Structure 1
Amino acid sequence: MKAAELMVKCLEAEGVEYVFGIPGEENLDLLDALAGSRIELVLTRHEQAAGFMAATYGRLTGKPGVCLSTLGPGATNLVTAAAYAQLGAMPMVMITGQKPIKTSKQGQFQIIDVVDMMTPITKFTRQIVSAGSIPSRVREAFRMAEEERPGATHLELPEDIAADDTDATPIPASELRRPIAEHKAVARAVELLSQARHPLLIVGAGANRKRCARQLSALIDRQGIPFITTQMGKGVVDENHPLFLGNAAVSDGDFPHRAIAQSDCILNVGHDVVEKPPFIMRTGTRKVIHVNYNPAEVDPVYFPQVEVIGDIANAIWQINGDLEPSPDWDFSYMERICAAMRAHRHEGESDAGFPLKPQRLVADLRRTLPADGVIALDNGVYKIWFARNYNASCPNSVLLDNALATMGAGLPSAMAAKLVHPDKPVVAVCGDGGFMMNSQELETAVRLGMDLVVIVLNDSAYGMIQWKQQHMGLRDFGLSFGNPDFVAYANSYGATGHRLESAEAFEGLLASCLAAGGVHLLDVPVDYSDNVRLLFHEIPETSRALVP
């Protein structure tokens, strides 16, 4: 068979369901092999969107998502998606084409060193130089993409190699069990927690990857230790839990950071150095226990005293089994923080003002979606409102990016979520700036027959940067733009566009779109005048009585 056919058989052996991307002439043999495969090609309208979809597939399944592009400009369009997967710890394999490498008839036309370009933003990148090496290269790319810490890998398949004949066969995946934490480290963690007066649990991005929800919930329920989450740790434990103290989304001085300031021992589970961290160790003498698959990367704000390294779920199970709730633990202050946080979050949920306030948007969306519904957030200031005010009930039910924090990923991520979870309602929430960076994928969603709701928050500006500009006391300059008629724009792709006319209409409109099926776009004018409240460094007046 041709090497391209072998490549596809290797992908099938890895359990690949979808290949997202845009082929070019250098991929034609591979495209022909895919035509005879059980793998579905999802043809997108931009390579970046294909990469975002592949990365999100990897995030949701734990198996590498696969994306495809041609050489040159197609490959360079995958760079942002590669960084998105690499920083976000999402397993992804990129396959790019290349001109013939054994002979050249076109000089350097469209040729750049793609392998060299991908080196700093991937875990593994190789050019395939012989048909016989395909099985080992594919197996290693998938192994490396999925291995802790997950990320992006890349293979370049030149068109002359793809056309070569070969009798090689795929290499099956080996069985793998992650190592478990050493008992002495667990014992030291248990000792520190037992000696504490005000222990606190922080759930980070690493805990969200490997489905640690059951063991973490069991520890919280048995020990009664309050917890906070990072943005990418949302939903690992149900945030409706009475011991949930909030999400560390922005500022030193907010509710979660006040809980941290009160704590004397932090059990920090799944900390990821790429995620903007809560301020844990900058002041005070509190002890920090690092529970993760890999040792801590020490920096000026993170230098844990104890490290429990191994499978996270197993480590939490061991700690929970060996630790007994201490009669000396005192959570009275944290209970007051919890009450104040909940009271503060309810403010503005019924605000009838229009354009819509973010608090009303978040509350109405949470009431409308079931517990396992999925929201995919693009990047903008609304992401912080969702991180703080939207209680996630299930792991990976809030897809936000707090690593690369790129614009343009919201819609493609929602589309990938819908492919993975066809029976769950999925909503993309995008700012008008981020939406227009990959809005062409509306056509892809319509062509695939998806049931998908896309909310476009319309303020005709790059609102996140405008908010920071205002906070710094600078002039309002360079961040406003015009928008198309989003309703007509959606309709032109075969989707159904809607324009929100009042705050009271939002919840009903959203529910009707979810029930109707098909692709719906909601043009939602938004009022960000309350963004200043995200940066408060004092407990708000309305909640001050609850927290001394």
Structure 2
Amino acid sequence: MPTTVEVMADAFKEAGTPFIVGHPGGESVELMDAARQRDMRFILMKQETAGAILASTWGEITGSPGVCLSTRGPGSTNMVNGAAYAALDRAPLIMITDRYGNPAHEIGLRQRLDQRAVYGPLMKWGTTIDARIIHQQLRRAMRTATAVAPGPVQFDFPHDETTKEAKPLAVPPPLMPNTLQPEPDPLALRPLAQRIAQARKPIILAGLGVLWDRASEEVVRYAEQLGAPVLVTSKCKGVIAEDHPLRAGCIIGGIIERKLVSAADLIITIGLDGIELQPMPWPYNIPVVSIANIPSLDALVPAEVEVVGELKGLLKGLTELSSAGGNWGEKAAATFRQDVIDALNTPSKGLSPQRAMEVARAVLPRDTIATCDAGASRLLIVQKWQSYGPREFLTSNGLGSMGYAVPGALGARLAYPDRPVVAFTGDGGFLMAIAELQTAVRENLPIIVVVLDDQEIGLIRVKQEIKKIPKYGISVGGCDWEKLAQGFGADGVTVDTENGLQDALKVALKTGKTTVVAVRIDGSGYVDQFNALREL
């Protein structure tokens, strides 16, 4: 009869995740060995949060839950930010935290935490592993993590349960549900189609739900049928290819998009999750209809009607019921794109971050996967970098965590082993995850890290300047990025011109090695860009 860890490893592999990632403790070694015996990979991270972010990103891209682990006590608390990422950025993740066996857990003090209580507010579900019910626990965990909206579950793993014989199920249900999604009745959709047909200038706002139902193609076909411009949230860049004439840009919750949206006479939200929006009242008095895969419980968007169901079927049905729309969409989208370009083209004394992004996009192949860190540069990267397919641009939006770009890029490299992967990060965000350069090199997961180096925590400097507070406590400068990269076995180069950046990226593509390209930028335009794009 198989042991608990053997059943767990089999389940992870069957669910489509051929690796476990994290920083183990002594209680993890049996699970790691069970994975080894099944030709599963164990990826040793240098910091637990980075492991959880890597696994979460894999889960977002593939739909299979990522699996990460930590030791008890300090390891589990170090992993909390990764749990927050999975919760707020809607990533399917299984988190395993080592624990004392039950007797020691009841009387011990050292390194003893109520880990389920620590993680509880962030989890969709948490449980303590028990060999007698491990089969049911695994099935519930898999289904809970991947069910819309995806998120994290936690296994607290007592060390005295690892090698016990796992009690079998008499009639085991499938590990993952075999779900049938019938297409909606056209008659049921007709009132919504008729309401939308009354609009002369509809606009589409698309969010995370489109990715959960893999409905990107259906969104594009529906937009084309209506002739509607499309705005997407930052995690949905590429849902409509960014060279499509109806692609307007990204929703950032700023003043710049209000001109475009306010010109519409109907807002159609598709899969929009309230966690993707800025925490402020809905700014539009235009009628809204919502097409979603789950009911809206937060009531942030004042939709006059909400249609809930599987998005592929709903959009297919609506497209078939809709007559060809007008032609306002392409012109409106083009005008908005130009407005964004004009807002970002601020004067610069050196290489500007926006120009660095234009150079990077011109050099790197069309199928490049990009990750983006939080910080001052994120706002312009979201607008300047172009993606052409879903899940080709990866960032932390719901949590907005610094330190995302590098471990996110490693997760992307695992999911896309044959495509270029670039991580865009500021100097502050890169320093939060710099140890994972060693992971990239040692695990043969080559990525290109573009560090936009303005020698400060730029977003805080922007806020200080806008609030007329003197610059204080935000300096980062003095890093020799080339030596840091070389110390980890990666290539490193520092550039401060367009030609230098262009050449460095071409070399990195040619060598196929993990490469740090530090770009000395002039961030003096950030304040004007923020004032033009988004209210602070």
Residues 345 and 104 of structure 1, relative CA distance in 2, 3 Å threshold: closer
Please tell me whether the aligned partners of residues 290 and 307 of structure 1 are also in contact (alpha carbons under 8 angstroms): yes
Deviation at 1:16, TM superposition (A): 2.4
Residues 413 and 150 of structure 1, relative CA distance in 2, 3 Å threshold: same
Q: Which residue of 1 aligns with 2:196?
A: 193
Q: CA separation in 2, counterparts of 1:340 and 1:113? A: 51
Residue identity matched to 2:38: S
Please tell me whether the aligned partners of residues 411 and 428 of structure 1 are also in contact (alpha carbons under 8 angstroms): yes
Residue identity matched to 1:140: R
Residues 535 and 3 of structure 1, relative CA distance in 2, 3 Å threshold: closer
Deviation at 1:491, TM superposition (A): 0.2
What is the aligned counterpart of 2:174 among 163, 172, 175?
172
Deviation at 1:186, TM superposition (A): 2.6
| 1:456-535 equivalence runs, <5 A | 456-535=451-530
**1:45 is paired with a residue of what secondary structure?**
coil
**2:249 is paired with a residue of what secondary structure?**
strand
Residue identity matched to 2:24: P
Q: Which residue of 2 aligns with 1:236?
A: 239
Q: Which residue of 2 aligns with 1:341?
A: 337
The yes-or-no answer on 1:54 pairing with 2:50 is: no
**2:283 is paired with a residue of what secondary structure?**
coil
Deviation at 1:503, TM superposition (A): 2.6
The yes-or-no answer on 1:435 pairing with 2:433 is: no
Deviation at 1:481, TM superposition (A): 2.8
Q: CA separation in 2, counterparts of 1:179 and 1:361? A: 47
Q: CA separation in 2, counterparts of 1:459 and 1:352? A: 13
Q: Which residue of 2 aligns with 1:80?
A: 81
Residue identity matched to 1:172: P
Residues 124 and 409 of structure 1, relative CA distance in 2, 3 Å threshold: same
| 1:117-136 equivalence runs, <5 A | 117-128=118-129, 130-136=130-136
Residues 524 and 150 of structure 1, relative CA distance in 2, 3 Å threshold: same
| 1:325-336 equivalence runs, <5 A | 325-326=324-325, 329=326, 331=328, 335=331
What is the aligned counterpart of 1:358 among 353, 358, 373?
353
The yes-or-no answer on 1:215 pairing with 2:210 is: no
Q: CA separation in 2, counterparts of 1:234 and 1:77? A: 30
Deviation at 1:207, TM superposition (A): 1.3
Deviation at 1:219, TM superposition (A): 1.5
Alignment: residue pair count: 530
Please tell me whether the aligned partners of residues 257 and 279 of structure 1 are also in contact (alpha carbons under 8 angstroms): no
| 1:4-403 equivalence runs, <5 A | 4-103=5-104, 107-128=108-129, 130-168=130-168, 172-173=174-175, 174-178=177-181, 183=186, 186-252=189-255, 254=256, 256-277=257-278, 281-284=282-285, 286-299=286-299, 301-326=300-325, 329=326, 331=328, 335=331, 338-339=334-335, 341-342=337-338, 345=341, 353-354=349-350, 356-403=351-398
Please tell me whether the aligned partners of residues 351 and 360 of structure 1 are also in contact (alpha carbons under 8 angstroms): no
TM-score, reference length from structure 2 = 0.93
Deviates more, 1:338-347 or 1:506-515: 338-347
Unpaired stretches in structure 1, ≥5 consecutive residues:
540-548
Residue identity matched to 1:161: E
Q: CA separation in 2, counterparts of 1:405 and 1:344? A: 22
Residue identity matched to 2:26: E
Q: CA separation in 1, counterparts of 2:238 and 2:60? A: 14
Q: Which residue of 2 aligns with 1:546?
A: none
TM-score, reference length from structure 1 = 0.91
Deviant stretches of 4+, over 4 Å? 103-106, 178-185, 277-281, 346-353, 536-539
**1:96 is paired with a residue of what secondary structure?**
strand
Q: CA separation in 2, counterparts of 1:100 and 1:538? A: 54
Deviation at 1:8, TM superposition (A): 1.8
Deviation at 1:177, TM superposition (A): 2.9
Deviation at 1:182, TM superposition (A): 6.2
Q: Percent of pairs identical after alignment?
A: 28
Residue identity matched to 1:341: R
Q: CA separation in 2, counterparts of 1:314 and 1:278? A: 31
**1:405 is paired with a residue of what secondary structure?**
coil
Deviation at 1:205, TM superposition (A): 2.1
**1:274 is paired with a residue of what secondary structure?**
helix
Residue identity matched to 2:164: D
Deviation at 1:457, TM superposition (A): 1.3
Deviation at 1:106, TM superposition (A): 7.2
Residues 180 and 108 of structure 1, relative CA distance in 2, 3 Å threshold: farther
Please tell me whether the aligned partners of residues 101 and 158 of structure 1 are also in contact (alpha carbons under 8 angstroms): yes
Deviation at 1:178, TM superposition (A): 4.3
Deviation at 1:460, TM superposition (A): 1.8
Let me know the Cα RMSD of the aligned residues. 2.4
Please tell me whether the aligned partners of residues 352 and 504 of structure 1 are also in contact (alpha carbons under 8 angstroms): no
**1:132 is paired with a residue of what secondary structure?**
coil
| CA deviation vs aligned residue, 1:225-283 (integer Å, no higher than 9, x gap) | 1111121221101121112222222522x1x3211111111111111111125989534
Please tell me whether the aligned partners of residues 248 and 278 of structure 1 are also in contact (alpha carbons under 8 angstroms): no
Q: CA separation in 1, counterparts of 2:528 and 2:186? A: 45
Residues 366 and 349 of structure 1, relative CA distance in 2, 3 Å threshold: farther
Q: CA separation in 2, counterparts of 1:259 and 1:279? A: 19
Please tell me whether the aligned partners of residues 2 and 164 of structure 1 are also in contact (alpha carbons under 8 angstroms): yes
Residues 477 and 237 of structure 1, relative CA distance in 2, 3 Å threshold: same
Unpaired stretches in structure 2, ≥5 consecutive residues:
none
Residue identity matched to 1:315: L
Please tell me whether the aligned partners of residues 352 and 503 of structure 1 are also in contact (alpha carbons under 8 angstroms): no
| CA deviation vs aligned residue, 1:181-218 (integer Å, no higher than 9, x gap) | 56566323212211112211111122133321211121
**1:57 is paired with a residue of what secondary structure?**
helix
Deviates more, 1:171-180 or 1:7-16: 171-180
Please tell me whether the aligned partners of residues 9 and 35 of structure 2 are also in contact (alpha carbons under 8 angstroms): yes
Residues 381 and 217 of structure 1, relative CA distance in 2, 3 Å threshold: same
Residue identity matched to 2:450: I
Deviation at 1:3, TM superposition (A): 2.2
Residue identity matched to 2:242: E
Residue identity matched to 1:119: G
Residues 278 and 157 of structure 1, relative CA distance in 2, 3 Å threshold: closer
**1:196 is paired with a residue of what secondary structure?**
coil
Deviation at 1:341, TM superposition (A): 2.9
Please tell me whether the aligned partners of residues 134 and 166 of structure 2 are also in contact (alpha carbons under 8 angstroms): no
Please tell me whether the aligned partners of residues 218 and 315 of structure 2 are also in contact (alpha carbons under 8 angstroms): yes
**1:450 is paired with a residue of what secondary structure?**
coil
Please tell me whether the aligned partners of residues 18 and 39 of structure 1 are also in contact (alpha carbons under 8 angstroms): yes
Q: CA separation in 2, counterparts of 1:527 and 1:154? A: 43
Please tell me whether the aligned partners of residues 198 and 264 of structure 1 are also in contact (alpha carbons under 8 angstroms): yes
